[in-house]
Structure 1
Amino acid sequence: MTKPVAPKRHLPTSPFKAPATPAPKHFSMGDQVTHDTYGLGRVIGIEDGVAALVDFGSARIRISSPYAKMTKL
């Protein structure tokens, strides 16, 4: 069993910029989205901060947060 690796800490005296953390994605009911694997779809359900239920036409898929492969159109 492996231990999870903690992100490296940014030292305030470092001459390099602190790594930017991307803003979390938020979706609403009815948003039109695209997914790298499933294609074009529409959000039909939301579980706040947990997952989104998306209708891709041929299938309804539950996409869990952080929605890495899904973007809002």
Structure 2
Amino acid sequence: MESSRGTTRRHLSTSPFKPRVPDPIKTFEVGDRVSHDREGIGRIHAVEGTHAVVVDLGGGKLLRVVSPFDKLHVL
């Protein structure tokens, strides 16, 4: 269940629970083969910093995917 707050609570050092660790940022390079959950398999065509990538899905179809890259996986 997610919190209804817009922010997350800070971790107390006296808490018996482990602090929430953020997911590592996914990085891609031009030419990497990737799989998109909805669109299928493609190849990284261009990288726009850490904010977006352009995926060539074949047949002239390009897909721009912005960060976070939850639906994009390196093969």
1:60 aligned partner, one-letter code: L
2:54 matched residue in structure 1:
53
| 1:33 corresponds to | 34
Question: Structure 1-normalised TM-score?
Answer: 0.89
Q: How does 1:12-27 map to 2 (within 5 A)?
A: 12-27=13-28
Q: Secondary structure at the match of 2:46?
A: strand
Count matched residues: 70
Separation (CA, whole Å) in 2 of partners of 1:40 and 1:49? 21
Equivalent residue number for residue 43 of structure 2: 42
TM-score (norm 2): 0.87
1:72 counterpart (59, 71, 74): 74
Identity %: 40
**5+ long unaligned stretches in structure 2:** none
Q: CA RMSD in A?
A: 1.2
Gaps (5+ residues) in structure 1? none
SS at match of 1:67: coil
How far apart are 1:57 and its partner, in Å?
Answer: 1.4
